[in-house]
Amino acid sequence: MKINFTEITAAKAKLDAVIVFLVGEDKKLSPLAAAINKQSGGVIAKALASGKFAGKRGQYAVIVPSDSVKCDRIILAGIGDVKELNAQAFENIGGGVIPHLNNLAAKSATFFLDELKGPVSAAEAAARIAHGADLRGYRFDKYHTKTPADEKPTIATINVALANTKSVAKHYAELEKLAAGIFLTRNLVSEPANIIYPETMAEECQKLEALGVEVEVLDEPDMYKLGFGALLGVGQGSANESKMVIMKWKGLGKASKTQPIAFVGKGVTFDTGGISIKPAGGMEEMKWDMGGAGTVVGLMKALAGRKAKVNVVGVAGLVENMPGGNAQRPGDVVTSYSGQTIEVINTDAEGRLVLADALWYTQKHFKPKFIIDLATLTGAIIVSLGSSRAGLFSNNDKLADQLFKTGQKVGEEVWRLPLADVYDKQINSDIADMLNSTNTREAGSITAAQFLQRFVNDTPWVHLDIAGMAWSKKDGDITPKGATAYGVRLLNELVKEYYEG
């Protein structure tokens, strides 16, 4: 999608659609909407008088104007109370209008942005509107060969017109790089498992070298030598070789000795459950069981793209969990990279085995300020929190609080769940140091997090269980249904707000 910013006085060309704002919930027109209403002989006011549209945030109304107005359609966007319009709200406005534009078969549209005198400057508001429209306009349709013309999106150009465009480019430049990272994650998670498997995903990671990211790929001989018994056990039934990718962004300079921050992602590129095989219904969705690793890769692209002033390590453990003749069996005991032994009682509790070795490697080799891991780890977290929040588990209150506040700010929310000895004892094994799962349905997300905590030592750490967030079955304001790239915006903002400098 092409994005343009222009001053209002220059926006004179014939347009497919114009978007103006209705302020509050008392049908009050913004100044620009009032001017267009006057120019059109009161068509907006007449439409408001005859309909239920009240200007609530998220409401839209389409109006056919008179010939005196240089556009085919006017879209009224309700914005609610101006004082409550934060950056996220403007993104939602930009994204929320995209389906309406496609329904109108509009090829181009222009937002007329007033000086609304709220907490967000007009320049940032313009950038956020464009960013939201860009994110909502994403489509993964590379495998469609016969899409009917009336189902294809038409909107190709978004213009945002405002009184002064002086500082818009600065605001939008970072958001454009963030969008590139989000789109990479969505692409990786959307691809089928015959296209994205450990080797090809590692190749996608290596493309980040063009942005200055240092990328190292460990193959199976490397990991056998190191003793990655937990990760390798998961992938041993697959014909596709397991990999671990280490990505380093040295935003403080290559000579910098500053402690990095670290992000670790579960990358099970397809999860059959192994010998503990999943039911057939819905198994095709398990192509996105690498969503955690996908988020880490997209985050690294966003940070490197905007040249973030921070040292970051991103680690992705990549495996395919298949029920082959050499597959791991329930009851097997494996020795992790940490030296701790694990009794595998459920081969479908595989993500934590991948993360066990990746987490230990990260804390041992890089000694980071903190580690945040992301994983589509448990179905139990969906039962607990649904698809509106990720589950957060942590050994560090400060880091957990920062993530909670950041999630509220960007609209990628988290909710903290407990860690305690009473849960930790549930994963003790009779014949090894620990079980990879439990024999009960109680506290499944918590016991999985307790397992991971055994592999971080005293490093400040957060585990984000994103099983309910990596994929959506319905459209959102800035996220079309499918891969969401949940976590890229959250972690990019965390870094920007608290750790750059």
DSSP 376-443: ---THHHHHHTTS-EEEEES-HHHHHHHHHHHHHHT--EEE----HHHHGGG--SSSSEESS-SSSTT
CA nearest neighbour of 243 among 199, 204, 208? 199
Residue 406, Cα to own-chain centre: how many angstroms? 13
Contact of 381 with 467, CB cutoff 8 Å: yes
CA angle 374, 380, 383 (to 5 degrees): 115
Contact of 132 with 478, CB cutoff 8 Å: yes
In 2-100, DSSP assigns E strands to 2-7, 15-23, 28-29, 60-63, 71-78
User: How far apart (Å, rounded) are the C-alpha atoms in residues 417 and 380?
Assistant: 12
Q: Which amino acid is at 288?
A: W
User: What is the three-class DSSP state of 270?
Assistant: strand
Q: What are the C-alpha distances in Å from 59 to residues 49, 54, 137, 408? A: 16, 8, 19, 22
Task: List, as one string, the DSSP characters of 446-498.
Answer: HHHHHHHHTTSTTS-EEEEE-TTTSEESS--SS--SEE--TTHHHHHHHIIII
Output DSSP code: residue 499. Answer: I
**278 an active-site residue?**
yes
Report phi then psi at 51, rounded to 5: -125, 180
Taking the CA atoms of the chain, what radius of gyration do you get in angstroms?
A: 25
All domains in the chain, ordered by first residue? 2-163 (3.40.220.10), 176-499 (3.40.630.10)
User: How far apart (Å, rounded) are the C-alpha atoms in residues 157 and 124?
Assistant: 19
List 73, 136, 250, 352, catalytic entry: 352
Report phi then psi at 125, rounded to 5: -60, -40
Question: Which DSSP helix (H) or strand (E) runs through 217?
Answer: strand 214-218
User: How far apart (Å, rounded) are the C-alpha atoms in residues 12 and 159?
Assistant: 12
- Buried b / exposed e along 116-149 (16+ C-beta atoms within 10 A): bebebbbbbbbbbbbbbbbbbbbeeeeeeeeeee
Contact of 435 with 429, CB cutoff 8 Å: yes
User: What was the pLDDT predicted at 13?
Assistant: 55
Burial class, 441, CB count within 10 angstroms (exposed 0-12 / middle 13-18 / buried 19+): exposed
Contact of 340 with 454, CB cutoff 8 Å: yes
Q: What are the C-alpha distances in Å from 413 to residues 19, 131, 168, 292, 480? A: 29, 19, 27, 16, 18
List 139, 278, 309, 369, catalytic entry: 278
User: What was the pLDDT predicted at 273?
Assistant: 98
Report the DSSP pairing between strands 2-7 and 157-162.
Answer: parallel
Q: Which amino acid is at 392?
A: L
18: Cβ–Cβ under 8 A, 6 or more apart, which residues? 36, 69, 71, 73, 74, 75, 109, 110, 112
**70 an active-site residue?**
no
User: How far apart (Å, rounded) are the C-alpha atoms in residues 158 and 129?
Assistant: 10
User: What was the pLDDT predicted at 11?
Assistant: 54
Q: Which pair of structure tokens corresponds to residue 347? A: 């081969």
330: Cβ–Cβ under 8 A, 6 or more apart, which residues? 275, 276, 344, 345, 346, 347
Report the DSSP pairing between strands 261-271 and 311-321.
Answer: parallel
User: How far apart (Å, rounded) are the C-alpha atoms in residues 125 and 116?
Assistant: 10
User: How far apart (Å, rounded) are the C-alpha atoms in residues 175 and 166?
Assistant: 17
User: What was the pLDDT predicted at 10?
Assistant: 58
User: What was the pLDDT predicted at 176?
Assistant: 98
User: How far apart (Å, rounded) are the C-alpha atoms in residues 59 and 57?
Assistant: 6
Contact of 212 with 285, CB cutoff 8 Å: no
Contact of 76 with 22, CB cutoff 8 Å: yes
Q: What is the largest CA-CA distance in the chain?
A: 82
Enter the pTM of the model.
0.96
Output DSSP code: residue 25. Answer: T
User: How far apart (Å, rounded) are the C-alpha atoms in residues 63 and 47?
Assistant: 7
User: What was the pLDDT predicted at 35?
Assistant: 85
User: How far apart (Å, rounded) are the C-alpha atoms in residues 374 and 371?
Assistant: 10
Can you list the residues of the chain whose pLDDT is less than 50?
none
